[in-house]
């Protein structure tokens, strides 16, 4: 399913959280590309969008684990928690869309 998020008016290095159906999604604009991950940390239960961006990672605000924004891989503490699901982001006519996304209505 393709879901429209809204305008693609992010600044470089900005991230935002979106609630879509029963899911939370983090979208970040890094290095000229949009990246999207599940926003709910699968270990600590925090919203990753409340964390911070460090290069190409988002760092969880609850337990400091860094997740790669392109792949969702746990980059700093693989034994602590699993990877986050990542999503493809498309830009069309100034809007952002998540591709192949299941909002869990």
Delineate the domains of the chain, giving CATH numbers in brackets. 3-98 (2.102.10.10)
Per-residue pLDDT of 30-62, as tens digits, reads 999 999 999 998 887 899 999 999 999 999 999
The candidate with the shortest Cα–Cα distance to 62, out of 30, 35, 40, is 40
Question: Is 40 within 8 Å of 29 (Cβ atoms)?
Answer: no
**How does residue 105 score in pLDDT terms, banded at 50, 70 and 90?**
low
What's the pTM?
0.91
pLDDT exceeds 80 at position 64: yes
CA angle (72, 24, 1) in 5-degree steps: 85
pLDDT exceeds 90 at position 79: no
The candidate with the shortest Cα–Cα distance to 37, out of 24, 46, 50, is 24
């Amino acid at each position: 399913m393709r879901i429209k998020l809204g305008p693609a008016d992010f600044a470089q290095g900005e991230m935002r959280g979106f609630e879509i159906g029963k899911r939370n999604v983090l979208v970040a604009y890094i290095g000229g590309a949009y990246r999207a991950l599940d926003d709910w940390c699968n270990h600590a239960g925090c919203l990753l969008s409340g964390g911070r961006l460090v290069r190409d990672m988002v760092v969880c605000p609850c337990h400091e684990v860094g997740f790669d924004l392109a792949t969702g891989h746990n980059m700093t503490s693989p034994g602590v928690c699993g990877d986050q699901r990542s999503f493809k982001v498309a830009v069309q006519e100034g809007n952002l869309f998540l591709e192949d996304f299941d909002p869990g209505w």
